[in-house]
Chains A and B, each alone.
Chain A
Amino acid sequence: MAELPPHMRPDRSFQGLILALQRYWADYGCVILQPYDMEVGAGTFHPATTLRALGPHAWNAAYVQPSRRPKDGRYGENPNRLQHYYQFQVILKPSPPELQDLYLNSLAAIGIDKAFHDLRFVEDDWESPTLGAWGLGWECWCDGMEVSQFTYFQQVAGFECAPVSGELTYGLERLACYLQGVDSIMDLNFNGRAGNQKVMYRDVFLQAEQEYSRHNFEFADTDMLFEQFRMAEAACRKYLDAGWDTEHAHHLMALPAYDQCIKASHIFNLLDARGVISVTERQSYILRVRDLARACGEAWLKTAGGGTH
């Protein structure tokens, strides 16, 4: 870190943090991907994680994923909560034996010195009901703050992971607040510059937080969203049906079908944020998305990427 120019240092620059993580994991041998071009609630939804976690092939990848959590919007007024934020996602398959050390070294690479900080692995069993996925692992704490999630995937889309992948998810804004020593995400220095060259997180995202919070909580057209949910669900089924070959041995459209599953999931999140889905209905929507995810996983396993030739 010492050789970096000041504006690239993770403790001064939000983008510097991202670049440092990319560099660290690129050095390890990961494919550095770009974000998936769809609205997702977490980096896990990226097909590079969800689908690649299934099947026998080795796969090491890292990428930033913008994540949308419509319910978490606070009109840009809450120092720690946004409806749109970034996750840095690493998936290593099979999980290497020294994964914890790799992770801790990545923290060192962004300037968290273990001689001064209290780093902890606190139980956090991960489950994504919508993806039919679960794994065991931890929240990783730095001085009482959760800075990452660390999961050994056991099942995805209802299928056993063989082999198991290790997944690391860094909450970038929170980590950056810690590194830069600021209390509000909006106060983050985005580009690491000073004076009139400095661009803050607020300059980039405050307006978006305000507008999207308004949209997510007050104006998102619920009739349209209910309709879109049904359409995405139907499209997913349609592409899945169309993708099977005659023997049901190969699938030719797992990825486009999975896009529709992602779409349905995001629409559900929007409806949820609008407060028009009750606790009990919630469950049934989650199950509907999970059914799609399961069917997509099944299809993926019958593609070359999923190990079928």
Chain B
Amino acid sequence: MPDLLLELFSEEIPARMQARAAEDLRKMVTDRLVDAGLVYEGATAFATPRRLALAVQGIPARQPDLKEEKKGPRVGAPEAAVQGFLKSAGLASIAEATIQRDPKKGEFYVALVEKPGRPAIDVLAEILPVVIRTFPWPKSMRWGERSSRSGALAWVRPLHSILATFGPETETPDIVPFAVDGIAAGNATRGHRFLAPRVIHASHFADYAAKLERAKVVLDPARRREIILTDAKHLAFAQGFELVEDPALLEEVAGLVEWPVVLMGTFDHDFLRLPPEVIRTTIRVNQKCFVVRAQPAPEGTQGSPVSSLSPQGGEEKSGPRGGEGRPALANKFILVANTEAADGGAAIVAGNERVIRARLADAKFFYETDLRHWRDVPLDMRLMKFKDIVFHEKLGTQWERIERIERLAAELAPLLGADAEKARRAARLAKADLLTGMVGEFPELQGLMGKYYARATGEDESVAVACEEHYKPVGPGDRVPGNPVSVAVALADKFDTLVGFWAIDERPTGSKDPYALRRAALGIVRLVLSNEIRLRLKQVVDLAYREIDRHIVGPGEVLSVDDTREDLVGFFADRLVVLLKEQGARHDLVNAALHVGARFIAEGEPIYEQDDLLLIVRRVEALGKFLDTEDGKNLLAGYKRATNIIRIEERRDKTEYTGEPSAELYRQAEEWELARAIDTAAAEASAAVAREDFAAAMSAMAKLRPHVDAFFDKVTVNVDDPPVRANRLKLLNRIRAATGTVADFSRIAG
């Protein structure tokens, strides 16, 4: 069976888009083939900087013939309907249709439409232009003279040629006859831009790949990666080094070359005095080169890295950052060129060395200037500059913000077991590196440079570490710090941000969250839970609000402290629900725990009573365990039954059965017993909740269960005696009220 070979040859495709584009091309073409009844045997797609290529094997030469019965209007239908049917079925007159009967529809016309299968190449000539026209590039562009016409082709970069051949392996394939925006498909392509720029004619995939290889193009990105990685490792090893592997960089670099040539360069040894992260960032971000380190010492002789702080905090040991405990970086780098130079790469290496030298000199200049500045100028003097930098036009200057964070961190510190003075110092210092040259150049080094500079100027280690860690956790996968000083500053920073933007009514809406407030709130939730911190969110919000209140400047809406607090707690609740759900907790249980004591204002907006994240989580856990027991399940069933009855009766009677039931109206022993049991259980549960023993609170509730069951067994609620009936409904309502101290059972599914 015939194969398809397709190549779209363009100007340089961004590296980060290539893998996805190859996959999209494969899927788009093969999906359409299958839709057209052309089931293929296999398909593989490739990408290089200048081409997307697709090979589809084993496509039938023709579509299968299709026979289809097409139902038409009933006999005697209006003429317009009949004409429409003839047109759609391709019949010349109604005489060509047959008539069928149906018990419901009566007599109606049926056309037998025979659709002979078309040659696959014709189908391809229709499919391929559509794929090209609708290709989902993340960003595409117009170019050249045609760009002013409407309907001009958009592609990731200018598309130069299309190669599309179709035919069985044993024969010279045909060119798929189509054109897109003036580019006609053919069987020509080009080799490497510099090493083999001439036109190549290709027939089948094997021929194509082989000719490309001869023309210095490695088509398969996986092979390019492999070549780069192997050559880089060998090159490093041969010189006594070890490659610092970097899969993301490897992927990118493989997308920048068609013919990878790995070379090694050197930089001045003196630069190694820079922090390894700085060297690596400089070389990686700007130059897309790899760094290398000394080969690790033989097994057993290497001292194990010791973290200087608590287990959660302190230095990360992982990652090829050349951090503590790993062999230091060497003054070498590995570059991947896209050409075989006439001088064996000497000029290329020299050029790259020159650029890296300049980049590292820049970094060194920043580093030394920054350090000198930190040593020579007292912190408070340095921070003066923040007085001129507005954090947000309504929320005062950076200086004011730092002062707020400082006070808040100091107030939070005792709750976290942190030294208040250290927290205060760390908060004061935490943003100072934003004023440094290094962070100005590499914003991604913010925090990290603060740590280095703080250490170098003799700050306490926990203070230095907090400079880096107070930004954390940045994303959902980021590490949560455990160093109490870091946690204090991290919380203070995030609370200040959230409360500030809430107060000036800049809350996130829909997909818009320009100040990353969702991330800040989720960060707080994770900090609190992972460090098992007891914190009343409302109190902290009030504290932060008090701080920020004096810095808010008009004009515009300002939310009151009450509105800010309640709304923000709701926002935290949403984040908590999402987080716990991701961790596998039951959504309904989280809500049941969260809503204990909640009040409702208009449109079902809850005002939460629960604002201690850790307690909410413990409650969810206890609730989950309880509901796994028979007692729990039955109590829930009893609860549901009671509330259903009340709801129905309340709706019917248009009243609420809330007040206390009256003992004089009890007629049966089960009523007395249930009432007594509720009193006992409620009292026990409240006491248990008060001492935060949720398991005990659940056990207290479990004791209700036989009484609820007995009540439903023996007592009829809807009796003819209206006062007795009302009293029974009130009694049932007491179940709801009593369970409410433990969880909002109405939110539990099942």
Interface, chain A (partner B; CB < 8 A): 56, 77-81, 94-97, 100, 114-123, 125, 135-138, 142-145, 152, 154, 161-164, 166, 178, 183, 275-281, 284
Residues of B within 8 A of A77 (CB): 365
Within the complex, the shortest CB–CB distance from B701 to chain A, in Å, comes to 51
Residues of B within 8 A of A56 (CB): 148
- Which of A100, A119, A135, A163 is close to B141, meaning CB atoms less than 8 Å apart? A135
Residue interface mask B139-179, A partner, CB < 8 A = 1: 11111111110000000111010000000000000000000
* Contacts known (A118-B337, A123-B16, A183-B357); A143 close to B348, Cβ less than 8 A: yes
Additional A-B contacts beyond A97-B160, A281-B390 (4; CB < 8 A): A94-B144, A94-B147, A115-B194, A135-B141
The reply on B335 being an interface residue by CB < 8 A is yes
Segment at the interface with A among B200-208, B338-346, B631-639, B710-718: B338-346
* Contacts known (A94-B147, A278-B392, A278-B398); A116 close to B343, Cβ less than 8 A: yes
The reply on B393 being an interface residue by CB < 8 A is yes
Docked Cα-Cα span, A162 to B358, in Å, equals 40
Interface, chain B (partner A; CB < 8 A): 11-12, 14-16, 49, 139-148, 156-158, 160, 194, 256, 287-289, 335, 337-339, 341-343, 347-348, 350-352, 354-358, 361-362, 365, 385, 388-393, 397-398
Interface of A is mostly: loop
Docked Cα-Cα span, A164 to B149, in Å, equals 11
Residues of B within 8 A of A178 (CB): 351, 354
Within the complex, the shortest CB–CB distance from A23 to chain B, in Å, comes to 24
Within the complex, the shortest CB–CB distance from B389 to chain A, in Å, comes to 5
Residue of A nearest to B349 (CB): A143
Within the complex, the shortest CB–CB distance from A145 to chain B, in Å, comes to 5
Docked Cα-Cα span, A162 to B721, in Å, equals 85
Residues of B within 8 A of A135 (CB): 141
Count CB-based A-B contacts (< 8 Å).
Answer: 138
Docked Cα-Cα span, A275 to B193, in Å, equals 45
- Which of B11, B289, B351 is close to A117, meaning CB atoms less than 8 Å apart? B351
- Which of A78, A114, A143, A161 is close to B352, meaning CB atoms less than 8 Å apart? A143
> B144–A116 contact, CB under 8 A?
no
Within the complex, the shortest CB–CB distance from A22 to chain B, in Å, comes to 25
Residues of A within 8 A of B335 (CB): 144
Within the complex, the shortest CB–CB distance from B212 to chain A, in Å, comes to 19
Within the complex, the shortest CB–CB distance from A160 to chain B, in Å, comes to 9
> A78–B393 contact, CB under 8 A?
no
> B351–A144 contact, CB under 8 A?
yes
Within the complex, the shortest CB–CB distance from A136 to chain B, in Å, comes to 4
- Which of A78, A119, A137 is close to B362, meaning CB atoms less than 8 Å apart? A78
- Which of A122, A152, A183 is close to B158, meaning CB atoms less than 8 Å apart? A152
Docked Cα-Cα span, A183 to B158, in Å, equals 36
- Which of A80, A119, A137, A164 is close to B144, meaning CB atoms less than 8 Å apart? A164
> A95–B355 contact, CB under 8 A?
no
Residues of A within 8 A of B351 (CB): 117-118, 142-145, 178
> B341–A116 contact, CB under 8 A?
yes
Residues of B within 8 A of A118 (CB): 337-339, 341, 348, 351
> A143–B194 contact, CB under 8 A?
no
> A164–B393 contact, CB under 8 A?
no
Interface of B is mostly: mixed
23 A-B residue pairs with CB within 8 Å: A56-B148, A94-B148, A96-B144, A97-B160, A115-B194, A115-B342, A117-B348, A120-B338, A121-B12, A122-B15, A125-B139, A136-B156, A143-B348, A144-B287, A144-B355, A163-B145, A163-B147, A164-B142, A164-B148, A183-B354, A278-B392, A278-B393, A281-B390
Within the complex, the shortest CB–CB distance from A217 to chain B, in Å, comes to 11
Docked Cα-Cα span, A305 to B525, in Å, equals 59
Within the complex, the shortest CB–CB distance from A69 to chain B, in Å, comes to 13
> B11–A121 contact, CB under 8 A?
yes
Docked Cα-Cα span, A137 to B139, in Å, equals 11
* Contacts known (A80-B362, A117-B341); A276 close to B141, Cβ less than 8 A: no
- Which of A121, A137, A154 is close to B142, meaning CB atoms less than 8 Å apart? A154
Within the complex, the shortest CB–CB distance from A125 to chain B, in Å, comes to 7
Residues of B within 8 A of A276 (CB): 388-389
Residues of B within 8 A of A81 (CB): 362
Residues of A within 8 A of B194 (CB): 114-115, 119
> B390–A123 contact, CB under 8 A?
no
- Which of B144, B356, B362 is close to A163, meaning CB atoms less than 8 Å apart? B144
Residues of A within 8 A of B287 (CB): 144
Residues of B within 8 A of A154 (CB): 141-142
Residues of B within 8 A of A115 (CB): 194, 341-342
> B147–A123 contact, CB under 8 A?
no
- Which of B342, B393, B398 is close to A116, meaning CB atoms less than 8 Å apart? B342
> A164–B389 contact, CB under 8 A?
no
Docked Cα-Cα span, A162 to B146, in Å, equals 9
- Which of B341, B348, B389 is close to A275, meaning CB atoms less than 8 Å apart? B389
Residues of B within 8 A of A278 (CB): 389-393, 397-398
Most buried by B among A100, A125, A284: A100
Docked Cα-Cα span, A131 to B160, in Å, equals 30
Docked Cα-Cα span, A70 to B397, in Å, equals 23
Docked Cα-Cα span, A152 to B10, in Å, equals 14
> B347–A143 contact, CB under 8 A?
yes
> B343–A164 contact, CB under 8 A?
no
Most buried by B among A116, A183, A284: A116
Within the complex, the shortest CB–CB distance from B358 to chain A, in Å, comes to 5
> A97–B14 contact, CB under 8 A?
no
> A144–B391 contact, CB under 8 A?
no
* Contacts known (A116-B341, A136-B141, A154-B142); A164 close to B12, Cβ less than 8 A: no
Residue of A nearest to B16 (CB): A123
* Contacts known (A145-B354, A278-B392); A162 close to B343, Cβ less than 8 A: no
Residue of B nearest to A222 (CB): B388
Docked Cα-Cα span, A278 to B394, in Å, equals 12
Residues of B within 8 A of A80 (CB): 358, 362
Sorted from nearest, which 4 A-B pairs have the closest CB atoms?
A143-B351, A278-B390, A123-B14, A162-B148
Docked Cα-Cα span, A279 to B389, in Å, equals 8
* Contacts known (A123-B16, A275-B385); A145 close to B148, Cβ less than 8 A: no
Residues of A within 8 A of B355 (CB): 143-145
> B338–A138 contact, CB under 8 A?
no
* Contacts known (A118-B348, A120-B256, A143-B355); A152 close to B388, Cβ less than 8 A: no
Docked Cα-Cα span, A144 to B194, in Å, equals 17
Within the complex, the shortest CB–CB distance from B640 to chain A, in Å, comes to 51
> B354–A280 contact, CB under 8 A?
no
Docked Cα-Cα span, A166 to B141, in Å, equals 12
> A117–B347 contact, CB under 8 A?
yes
- Which of A117, A152, A277 is close to B143, meaning CB atoms less than 8 Å apart? A152
Most buried by A among B143, B160, B338, B388: B143
